[in-house]
Amino acid sequence: MLAIVGGSGLTQLASLEVTRREVVRTPYGEPSGALTFGMVCDQEVVFLARHGYGHTIPPHRVNYRANLWALKQVGVTDVVSVASVGGIRADFGPGALIVPDQIIDYTWGRECTFFEGGESPVRHVDFTHPYDQKLRQRLLDAAAKIGEAVYDGGVYAASQGPRLETAAEIDRFERDGADVVGMTGMPEAVLARELELPYAAINVVANYAAGRASSEAGISFDSIEVVLHEAMTRVRGLLNGLCSDGDH
């Protein structure tokens, strides 16, 4: 069963034929909201709004452990994250869709593991390739099938938020090799890995990152809303294509 975790701009799936909603309790507290179960192209899908259905939970307050644990508990086998990002690379302009392949983590103070030691032995996970390649390829194939242009690969910088970054911070991220910047990719990706849940992401460029736009006027939040509204329609089409790929 596929889970879709929606970020800013994707708090619901228009194509989801809702069958039920379920409040799931976890040892790690409350998830961001009830899990919404439904059908997309004859595939059962679970949807969860990462920031809550009223978009009330900031990135550093999301209970990532509860979210992933709840999805695993109800039988999810694959997780696709949808997240808006700022474009650092010149060709990653507003509206671009990226299926990233690497992460650099700049977050701090978040509950970032299920393996906290104590009476249990310390455990490590291999995070060389943070996104599941098979699930990434399914996203790329689905995009090709419907004729949607996506970028194959990119380095996601996970920043703390909720504020946007300074121009100097974006310069640093670029020097480190990052192509886009967002606030929710970690620890979500590593928690999925710890639970052995294949995880991949669709990054939606909402705006150029700080200092990268041609204008010195700063970032326009009105423009971001317009871009996300249009781009998320394309994301829903991509997700529909993924759900109809027959490999589930």
120 is known to lie in a ligand binding site: no
Q: Are strands 78-87 and 180-182 parallel, antiparallel or unpaired?
A: antiparallel
8 is known to lie in a ligand binding site: yes
DSSP string, 60-93: GG--HHHHHHHHHHTT--EEEEEEEEEE-STT--
Phi, psi of 199 (to 5 degrees): -140, 130
163 is known to lie in a ligand binding site: no
The candidate with the shortest Cα–Cα distance to 1, out of 53, 37, 25, 30, is 37
Contact, 181 vs 68, CB < 8 A?
Answer: no
Please classify residue 111 by burial: count the beta carbons closer than 10 Å to its beta carbon, then call 0-12 exposed, 13-18 middle and 19+ buried.
middle
51 is known to lie in a ligand binding site: yes
123 is known to lie in a ligand binding site: no
183 is known to lie in a ligand binding site: yes
184 is known to lie in a ligand binding site: yes
Phi, psi of 57 (to 5 degrees): -110, 115
What is the enclosing helix (H) or strand (E) of 38? strand 35-40
248 is known to lie in a ligand binding site: no
Q: Are strands 151-152 and 199-208 parallel, antiparallel or unpaired?
A: unpaired
Return the bridge partners of 35, or none.
Answer: 22
Please classify residue 136 by burial: count the beta carbons closer than 10 Å to its beta carbon, then call 0-12 exposed, 13-18 middle and 19+ buried.
buried
Binding-site residue positions for phosphate: 8, 50-51, 184
Binding-site residue positions for substrate: 183, 207-209
Binding-site residue positions: 8, 50-51, 183-184, 207-209
